[in-house]
Amino acid sequence: MIKQLTRGRLITLAATVLVVLFFLYRCTPGGDSAPEYQTAVAELGNVVSRVSTSGSLQAVVTVDVGSQVSGRIQELFADFNSPVKKGQRIAKIDPALFQAALVSAEANVAAASANVTRLTVAAEDAERQARRASEVYEQRLISETERDTAVANARAARASVEQARSQVAQARAALETARTNLRYTDIVSPTDGVVISRAVNVGQTVAASLSAPVIFTIAQDLKQMEVHTNVAESDIGRLNPGMRVTFTVDAYPGEPFRGAIRDIRNAPQVVQNVVTYDAVIDVANPDLKLKPGMTATVSVVTDRRSDVLTVPNAALRFRPEGAAGLGPGPGPNAAGAGGQRERGQGGQRNPDQRNPDNRNRGEGTPRNRGDGEEAGPPPVLKRTVYVLVDGKPQVREVTTGLSDGRITEITGGELKPGENVIVTAAGQNPNQRGQGQRGFRIL
């Protein structure tokens, strides 16, 4: 009985060893099984080139409403999200001190006017005395000195009247200042719009001695908004005013909004040695869904190809085992004449040569992506793809054009529609290429 059990265990162990050896043999390179390939069909399709970036929504016109006089806030007539009209009173500063200043200025004007009246009477009397002195002097009843004194007194009296009148003008100017300051205690809206911010409360004191304190921020019209984007310098040359734009916001995922580029501002914005430019996008907001400050993920279509032969970018990167010395293109002339690296207009790399670990970067980075990798302009490049014929890879020389980061347009060469292009080999690490090639990923 014990011998039978021992024999059964030996048979089981031997069978297990044979199964393991069989699988090891089958999985060892150079076994009798031919390599298996993953393929994709070269087919007609559409290729769209995009510039993707992000930005923030803002009102077209935003006005900061402040106070030109200092004082305590007595009343507020508007709050957050309040619609206001031009000239509408939205806040009130305690007017007690300014009313007292107005009364004092009015009194000063009255006193100055009375002084003019007094001096005018004195001047008229001095002029009569001067005329009498001149008549008496002609009769030689008074001396010439007495006559000259009377004339001088008359002239001095007239000058005193002119001085008093100028003091009246000064008093009236002070009165107008007091009235203006009292009027400024009523803070009114300078435009039609909606209050988007309130910075003070009732009872709070505002000081306007150095600069006007901001009390309200009013957006003129939220039905017309704009998106300010940061576009990388490598992409700014592909954008022009008037281009149509599609964008999304986190508040309404999956719902696209549309606009058009109004202006591309020339002022550079440099953050961590990255240069970007502000492309301003006009957006209609009739339903008031969009709000100031929302983050927009923007996509601009810069070029498109319809019904063209396309292949996955992974097919352009594939090289079979033993294809030594083959880089991303057919030998050292992959980039065309002059040995230039594959770049589009403006020095942008072809999308299928980018770092495979690139992700959608945030605002302020050199390339902000939305839905996938950033597409370049359509450079015409000589490339190599492999098609599967009777289970074996065969070379096809092709020229490439526009790419959207996932598929690339084939503009010419030996590849025909319907052929199966190889994108990777079974058992090959998708993050590594064949001999002498950099890593890649299947798009």
Residue 337 has pLDDT above 80, yes or no: no
pLDDT at 36: 81
Same domain for 327 and 285, yes or no, is no
Question: Are 317 and 420 found together in one domain?
Answer: yes
Which residue did the predictor score with more confidence, 254 or 334? Answer: 254
Does the residue 9 lie in any domain? Answer: no
Taking residues 74-87, report their average pLDDT.
Answer: 94
- Residue 349: DSSP 8-state: B
pLDDT of residue 26: 60
What is the tens place of the pLDDT at every residue in 287-333? 999 999 999 999 999 999 999 999 999 999 998 876 543 444 433 33
Domain termination residue (choose one: 272, 301, 330): 301
Boundary of a domain, candidates 184, 204, 234: 184
Q: Is residue 83 part of a domain?
A: no
CA distance 26 to 427: 12
CB 231 within 8 A of CB 53: yes
Q: Are residues 328 and 395 in the same domain?
A: yes
Query: Could you tell me if 317 and 406 lie in one domain?
Result: yes
Q: What is the pLDDT of residues 203-234, one digit of tens each?
A: 999 988 767 789 999 998 899 999 999 999 99
Quick count: other Cβ atoms within 10 Å of Cβ 202? 11
Q: Are residues 374 and 290 in the same domain?
A: no
> Given this model, what pLDDT does residue 382 score?
85
CB 441 within 8 A of CB 424: no
Kindly give the interhelix angle for 144-184 and 96-138, rounded to the nearest 10 degrees.
170
> Is there a domain that residue 382 lies in?
yes
The secondary structure of residue 202, as a DSSP letter, is T
pLDDT at 181: 95
- Give pLDDT, residue 8: 66
d(CA 230, CA 271): 11
Q: What is the dihedral of CA 120, 121, 126, 130, to 10 degrees?
A: 90
Residue 24 neighbours by CB under 8 Å, 6+ apart: none
Does residue 218 fall inside a structural domain?
A: no
What is the Cα–Cα distance from 86 to 368, expressed in whole angstroms?
41
Q: How far is residue 241 from each of residues 259, 302, 403, measured CA to CA in Å?
A: 11, 12, 23
Neighbours of 414 (CB within 10 A): 13
**How high is the mean pLDDT of the chain?**
81
Return the higher-pLDDT residue of 429 and 385.
385
Q: Are residues 166 and 139 in the same domain?
A: yes
In-domain check, residue 348: yes
- Mark whether 173 and 107 lie in a shared domain: yes
Instruction: Convert the pLDDT of each residue in 103-142 to its tens digit.
Output: 999 999 999 999 999 999 999 999 999 998 988 888 888 8
327 and 236 share one domain: no
Residue 237, in any domain of the structure: yes
What is the pTM assigned to this prediction? 0.61
Instruction: Please state whether 206 falls in left (phi above 0), alpha (psi between -120 and 50) or beta.
Output: beta
Among 69-83, 237-251, 368-382, the least confident range? 368-382
Last residue of a domain, one of 279, 301, 323: 301
Is residue 416 located within the same domain as residue 340?
yes
Cβ atoms within 10 Å, residue 347: 11
Residue 77 covered by a domain: no
How much is the pLDDT for 140? 83
Does residue 179 fall inside a structural domain?
yes
Q: CA separation (Å) from 404 to 46, 51, 375, 407?
A: 10, 10, 4, 6
Q: State how far the Cα of 334 lies from the Cα of 41, in Å rounded to an integer.
A: 23
Q: Average pLDDT for residues 96-107, to the nearest whole number? A: 96
Q: Are residues 358 and 343 in the same domain?
A: yes
Does one domain contain both 333 and 400? Answer: yes
**CATH code assigned at 126:** 1.10.287
Quote the domain boundaries for residue 156: 95-184
Residue 22 confidence (pLDDT) above 50? yes
Spatial separation of the C-alpha atoms in residues 114 and 122, rounded to whole Å = 13
Q: What is the number of domains present in the chain? A: 3
Read off the pLDDT band of 7 (50, 70, 90).
low
> Does one domain contain both 237 and 276?
yes
| Residue 130 DSSP class | H
% of the chain residues with pLDDT over 70: 77
Q: Which helix (H) or strand (E) holds 370?
A: none
